[in-house]
């Protein structure tokens, strides 16, 4: 999958804790997307970022969720005060340009207990 | 927003059989990709195919952009083909965000 790295692969959090999911895009890619996948469902768009900018966050819940893609370092999806309904697989994808082929990481499976 | 519909939702095959998966979309697209999500959850790029036909081994794909559909062909299926197949599109003049269909779940029996 052209090198999109997500970590951790699995994350367990208790209700009320914070979850931080990291995504390192393919080297040279400046566009990052985050998606959420619930069991037995497709991938739902959450947020689209370029370096230091949020381009579209229309799919992200207004509260508790935030995302960033700093000039240096990985993109971070942050979920504060997690609830059981946040349990899902979170996928990150990167692409080099507008209208480019997107490559996905292996996902982070978040379980809230 | 754009509607992406995949059919059939579920498919069960005997090893060696051929199959065709379909992706219909409701608007003009700049970009279309097919992905395979294996039983371990990993998403694997199959084709980047906004138009035309491509082949890769036993798999091939055709997108007819003017008629707003794409087809994924799997020939001589193997058990390792099992998983969920997704198409994802980006609409023309849109926000360059891939929108996914709900997928076709394929089980190939030995």
The count of C-alpha atoms lying within 13 angstroms of the C-alpha of A50, restricted to the half-sphere facing its C-beta, is: 9
Q: Is the pLDDT of residue B75 over 80?
A: yes
Nearest to A51 by CA among A34, A75, A21, A71: A71
Q: Is the pLDDT of residue A1 over 70?
A: no
Closest Cα in chain A to B41: A106
Q: Cβ–Cβ of A1/B41 closer than 8 Å?
A: no
Q: Cβ–Cβ of A48/B95 closer than 8 Å?
A: yes
Q: Cβ–Cβ of A102/B98 closer than 8 Å?
A: yes
Residues A34-52 as b or e (16 or more Cβ within 10 Å = b): bbbbeeeebbebbbbbeee
A35 touches chain B (CB under 8 A): yes
What confidence score (pLDDT) does residue A96 get? 83
Residue-wise pLDDT tens digits, A21-72:
999 999 888 899 999 999 878 899 999 999 889 999 999 999 999 999 998 8
To 5 degrees, how large is the angle CA A82–CA B100–CA A52? Answer: 60
Name residues 51-110 of chain A within 8 A of B (Cβ): 55-56, 89, 91, 93, 98-104, 106-107, 109
Q: Is the pLDDT of residue A2 over 60?
A: no
Provide the 8-state DSSP code for A26: P
Residue-wise pLDDT tens digits, A70-86:
988 999 999 999 999 99
Q: Cβ–Cβ of B41/A106 closer than 8 Å?
A: yes
What number of residues does chain B have? 110
Residues on B contacting A at a C-beta cutoff of 8 Å? 30-31, 33, 35, 41-45, 48, 86, 88, 90, 95-103
Q: Cβ–Cβ of B42/A106 closer than 8 Å?
A: yes
Pick from A1, A42, A103: which is nearest to B100 by CB? A42
Nearest to B72 by CA among B24, B108, B22: B22
> What is the mean pLDDT of the segment spanning B47-62?
96
Contact B31, B92 (CB under 8 A): no
What confidence score (pLDDT) does residue B67 get? 95
The mean-pLDDT minimum among A96-100, B5-9, B51-55, B84-88 falls in A96-100
Residue-wise pLDDT tens digits, B98-107:
899 999 999 9
């Amino acid at each position: 999958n052209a090198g999109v790295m997500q970590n951790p692969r699995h994350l367990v959090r208790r209700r009320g804790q914070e979850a931080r999911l990291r995504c390192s895009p393919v080297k040279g890619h400046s566009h990052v997307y985050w998606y959420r996948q619930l069991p037995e469902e497709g991938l739902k768009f959450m947020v689209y970022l370029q370096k230091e900018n949020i381009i579209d966050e229309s799919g992200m819940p207004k509260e508790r969720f935030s995302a960033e893609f700093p000039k240096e370092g990985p993109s971070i999806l942050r979920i504060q005060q997690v609830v059981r309904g946040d349990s899902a697989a979170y996928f990150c994808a990167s692409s080099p340009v507008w209208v480019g082929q997107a490559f996905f990481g292996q996902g982070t499976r978040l379980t809230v207990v | 927003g754009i509607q992406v519909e995949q059919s059939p939702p579920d498919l069960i095959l005997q090893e060696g059989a051929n199959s065709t998966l379909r992706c219909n979309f409701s608007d003009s697209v700049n970009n279309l990709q097919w992905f395979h999500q294996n039983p371990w959850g990993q998403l694997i790029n199959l084709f980047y195919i906004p138009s035309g036909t491509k082949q890769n081994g036993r798999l091939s794909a055709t997108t007819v952009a003017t008629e707003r559909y794409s087809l994924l062909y799997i020939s001589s299926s193997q058990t390792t083909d099992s998983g969920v197949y997704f198409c994802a599109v980006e609409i023309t003049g849109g926000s360059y965000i891939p929108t996914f269909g709900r997928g076709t779940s394929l089980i190939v029996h030995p």
